[in-house]
Amino acid sequence: MLTSLSPVQTKEWSTVDPLADCRRELHKKAFAAIHPLAGHPLFTIDALAKVAEHASRRPGDLYVDAGDLSFADKWGTTPKPNMTIPEIIDRIETAGAWLVLKHVETDAAYRVLLDEFKAFLLEIAGPEGAKILRNAEMIVLITSPRRKSAFHFDAEVNFLAQVQGSKDIWVCDPADRSMTTEEEIENYYSVSNSAGTFKPGAEKAARHFTLRPGDALHIPTYGAHWVQNHDSVSISVSLNMEFPQHYGDIYRANYHLRRLGLKPRPPGNSELVDRSKAAAISGMRRVRALIRR
Ligand SMILES: [Fe+2]
């Protein structure tokens, strides 16, 4: 299915569809939004070069790779470039690079913009939904022309905001267990967040969106997705909030049960079983914390 999102300049975050529809679809289905970050002086390449420099001083807050890849490559397996971060940003037109700047909100000026997004997201979530969301984060993605991002899924409640350049993104239904399997979600929580694997037929199963400056897209939790950048440098902002840690515990328990040769029931089939699994993992976590003291 092709869904084209028209470019819109706006002063604040807003949904395209009625709020009630978005509240029902939040973290379950992809939907469009519009955002105020396109053209903002904090998201020029020069401003972001400083952000990258700051992020490089915080362990784990700057990721970079460069080279050709296919959508089927494993997330995070592309080679590291043999250049410094300023060199990569300087040569971003030709470097074939993908830079990920995490926790950009560490800088107070960006924190203000993240807080505006957070207020928007919590309004969509509604009073009940807002109670469970936490740890808002702003991530900036700087991408060379024609660069791809491989098939993967995430566990957060995420919006991708296009600031500069344009790109195609394909998003699968998170409930489609032929695209995101139970085992992959279990592995995501227990082994590696690159657990998603590209499947034959993924492009037919996915919804296709084109993002231009001013467009934002809600990417549903566990919804597999992959990205093709267009012919110019792309600057995108990924904004997300997390579910509580115990939301992943049923999958963590199922990971251990599967390793014992069992076929665990997916979450949602029995409240009692789910609660017991979550309690077992929580107990293991408490024991580990005690041992570390
Ligand atoms: Fe993602």
Q: Are residues 32 and 113 in the same domain?
A: yes
The pLDDT assigned to 10 comes to 67
**CA 292 to ligand 1 center in whole angstroms:** 33
Sign of CA dihedral 185, 190, 193, 198: negative
Q: Are residues 214 and 254 in the same domain?
A: no
**CA 33 to ligand 1 center in whole angstroms:** 17
**CA 156 to ligand 1 center in whole angstroms:** 9
Average per-residue pLDDT in the chain? 93
**CA 30 to ligand 1 center in whole angstroms:** 12
Q: Are residues 274 and 174 in the same domain?
A: no
Which residues in the chain come in under a pLDDT of 50? 1-8
**CA 288 to ligand 1 center in whole angstroms:** 30
pTM of the model: 0.92
Sign of CA dihedral 73, 102, 40, 120: positive
**CA 147 to ligand 1 center in whole angstroms:** 15
Partners of 164 in the β-ladder: 235
CATH number for the domain harbouring residue 55: 2.60.120.10
pLDDT tens, 106-151? 999 999 999 999 999 999 999 999 999 999 999 999 999 999 999 9
The pLDDT assigned to 291 comes to 83
Tokens 């904090």 correspond to 42
The pLDDT assigned to 9 comes to 53
**CA 261 to ligand 1 center in whole angstroms:** 31
Phi, psi angles (nearest 5°) of residue 46: -65, -45
**CA 158 to ligand 1 center in whole angstroms:** 8
**CA 262 to ligand 1 center in whole angstroms:** 30
Q: Are residues 128 and 256 in the same domain?
A: no
Phi-psi region of 109 (alpha: psi -120 to 50; beta: other; left: phi over 0): alpha
Q: Are residues 273 and 182 in the same domain?
A: no
pLDDT tens, 224-263? 999 999 999 999 999 999 998 888 999 999 999 999 999 9
Q: Are residues 287 and 206 in the same domain?
A: no
Q: Are residues 229 and 122 in the same domain?
A: yes
Q: Which domain holds residue 32?
A: 2-243
Q: Are residues 112 and 251 in the same domain?
A: no
**CA 87 to ligand 1 center in whole angstroms:** 26
The pLDDT assigned to 8 comes to 46
Q: Are residues 220 and 146 in the same domain?
A: yes
**CA 260 to ligand 1 center in whole angstroms:** 31
The pLDDT assigned to 114 comes to 98
**CA 166 to ligand 1 center in whole angstroms:** 16
